[in-house]
Amino acid sequence: MGALCDFCGEQRSMVYCRSDAASLCLSCDRNVHSANALSRRHTRTLLCDRCASQPAMVRCLVENASLCQNCDWNGHSAGSSAAGHKRQTINCYSGCPSSSELSKIWTFVSDIPNVAPEPNCEQGISMMSISDSGVSNQDNAAGDSSLLDIASATLMSDLGTAGKPKSLIGSSSEAGVNLLPLATDQMAGSVDSTSAKVPYTADQDMFSKDSIYEDFCVDDVDLSFENYEELFGTSHIQTEQLFDDAGIDSYFESKEIPSGNSDEQPKLMQPVTSNAVSADSGMSIPGAKDYQDCGVSPVLLMGEPPWHPPGPEGSFAGATRDDAITRYKEKKKRRKFDKKIRYASRKARADVRKRVKGRFVKAGEAYDYDPLCETRSY
């Protein structure tokens, strides 16, 4: 069963907020993120069905499960029996959507509980719009159906084949609910190319609407980060490899990857710069610290999991790669890419604490930086 809400500790957590590093029930999500303009900008997404501790990034249509990147990779890695499963991206959102609006964002979730509207958010909801989805559904009769257009999530192959995916970030009205498509890996063989470019609508419910949470359960194991590798095997290391110095550039290149499905045409990997999220986070590779903002790891931005056997025109040979991996691992020891917020309350305090040259100052003393209003006391 999924974890309880980090905020109320009573309801089942359903969404994950990267900014707060918190799993929240929908009620608390609305309460917490209606507090102020900044919190409304927090991007949230569904919680991973499998590990229940990380933000889900893709929806496996076969398993009816929302998966975080690690669970996705572990479950659908090349060579596994599930490698060919169709998956689609899961959009994250910001603002204060109602339960009905969320149900449009995530059409595959059938048990979104009703959430009382937050007075602070009324305006935001009414202004909600998506103006530049790139995937439209003009036929949708629902009044605020613009949500659904994107929402429903783009088939993964859309991202893989679209020439220039448009950024959704910033396209919506200021106070509205922003839907932020999660970038995905276009894992070889994972998508049936014949189904690409078919905008998903509620009428095309190609996958069961049975509760995705009916099997929302994981073994009773500690899912803390401490035993991450124990739980997820090699994925952590694989992630590390991504930032391999020599490998970075190669991932920026468009390259063909071998398909796990022999019937498919090889897919071109998209350059990172085409990814919507990169624009949002201002992320720079390899110093990507901001990848967590929308639940998008740089790994996904790179397209292909780095441990995937390089294509014929792979940019580096095995020995060079090994060297680079070794170098990266040495660097990794000194870095904190995987910083995990252990105490959200402390983070919340630090986020609003006044500073002088970056250092916290005593309450009431002069400061030169106030995170809340960016004013100076002198």
Partner DNA sequence: ACCCGCCGGTGCGCCACAGACTTGG
Partner DNA sequence: ATCCAAGTCTGTGGCGCACCGGCGG
Which residues make up the interface to DNA (CB under 7 A)?
A: 284, 286-287, 331, 334-336, 339-343, 345-347, 349-351, 353, 355, 357-363, 369, 371
Amino acid at the residue 64: N
Which residue from 368, 364, 345 is spatially nearest to 356, judged by alpha carbons? 368
CB of 334 to DNA, least distance (A): 4
Residue closer to DNA (CB basis): 164 or 349: 349
The beta-strand segments (E) located in 68-150 are: 87-89, 91-93
Q: Whose Cβ is closer to DNA: residue 61's or residue 283's? A: 283
Task: Give the Cα separation of 162 and 320 in Å (integer).
Answer: 32
Count the neighbouring beta carbons within 10 Å of the beta carbon of residue 194: 10
State which residue, 24 or 155, has the beta carbon closest to DNA.
24
* Shortest Cβ 374–DNA spacing (Å): 9
Query: Is the Cβ of residue 43 or residue 152 nearer to DNA in the bound state?
Result: 43
Q: At 354, which amino acid appears?
A: K
d(CA 367, CA 378) in angstroms, rounded, equals 7
CB of 128 to DNA, least distance (A): 27
- Give exposure, 269-288, as e/b (b: 16+ Cβ within 10 Å): bbbbebbbbbebbebebbeb
User: Of 357 and 373, which has the nearer Cβ to DNA?
Assistant: 357
Query: Minimum Å distance from CB 361 to DNA?
Result: 5
Question: Is there a contact between 155 and 236 (Cβ–Cβ < 8 Å)?
Answer: no
* Minimum CB–partner distance for residue 89 and DNA (Å): 26
Q: How far is CA 359 from CA 156, 354, 376, in A?
A: 44, 8, 14
Which CB atom, from 141 or from 357, has the smaller least distance to DNA?
357
Least distance (Å) between residue 282 CB and DNA: 12
Supply the minimum distance, in Å, between the C-beta of residue 354 and DNA: 9
* CB closer to DNA, 53 vs 152: 53
Only one residue has tokens 């090889």, namely 266
Closest by CA to 297, choosing from 220, 213, 241, is 241
Of the two residues 127 and 237, which places its CB atom closer to DNA in the complex?
237
CA 294 to chain CA centroid, nearest Å: 5
State whether residue 203 is helix, strand or coil.
helix
Alpha-carbon 191 to chain mean position: 19
Q: How far is the CB of 226 from DNA (least distance, A)?
A: 11
Q: Look at residues 92, 25, 20, 3 and name the one whose alpha carbon lies nearest to residue 280.
A: 92
